[in-house]
Amino acid sequence: MGQMVEFPANGATASGYLALPPSGHGPGLIVIQEWWGLVDHIKELCDRFAAEGFVALAPDHYHGKQTRSPDDAAKLFMALNIAEAGKELRGAADFLIGHSAVMPKKVGALGFCMGGQLALYAAATHGDRLACAVDFYGIHPKVTIDPATVSIPILGHFGLKDGSVPVDGVRQLAAQVEATGGSFQVHFYQAGHAFFNDTRPQAYNAEAATLAWERTLAFLREKLAG
């Protein structure tokens, strides 16, 4: 359904996978990769969101690199320059806002694992470009979120059996965002990390994934409506 595109990002050029909805127009959505890179799973998710009416763009934060090896993924994950990734996310938002297919001119950010934390980062740093963000079990040790800087609505999906993302930490961050005037709606599932990734049978939880998908679509449609 989509194709690779290039877009400006802070004086440089970034690339990503862009999928358009059948209607030819819709709100924008940045889909942020897991630590594996811009793999087919992420492109297929862009296609799924496009089929639901969104103009979906997945930036390639690893610049062509991808892997199926957890060890290699961990190295790419830790080597990611967060500031540069943030510039690419802002560039992606600007690209979507300026795209003729994006109507209304609203953009959300959504990500999984590493991408979930980057979606939060984008919400905290680029609230002037984004209308909302969705965090699927976000984690990255180099990304710390200041709750006071989160000015757009957040939806979060987390697994109660996820040993890499402490539940208490999620609840605390959500409460802090709410206490400073923001909105952070959190859902917890009887599932582990990466429960939405249907290409990983050992992690995928169909019941949790289906419910999270339905909640995500409802949230995005509400926040990105004209």
Rounded to whole angstroms, the Cα distance separating 190 from 39 reads 26
Distance of CA 43 to the CA centre of its chain: 13
46 noted as active-site residue? no
Residue 41, H or E segment: helix 40-51
From the candidates 99, 126, 140, 193, which is the catalytic residue?
Answer: 193
Q: β-pairing, 26-32 with 55-59?
A: parallel
From the candidates 113, 126, 135, 157, which is the catalytic residue?
Answer: 113
193 noted as active-site residue? yes
162 noted as active-site residue? yes
DSSP state of 205: -
For 36, residues 6+ apart whose C-beta sits below 8 A from its C-beta are: 66, 67, 68, 73
From the candidates 60, 135, 157, 162, which is the catalytic residue?
Answer: 162
Q: Which amino acid is at 42?
A: I
**Look-up of token digits 């127009």:** 25
Rounded to whole angstroms, the Cα distance separating 71 from 83 reads 23
For 76, residues 6+ apart whose C-beta sits below 8 A from its C-beta are: 35, 37, 62, 65, 67
Q: β-pairing, 132-136 with 154-159?
A: parallel
Q: Which residues are catalytic?
A: 113, 162, 193
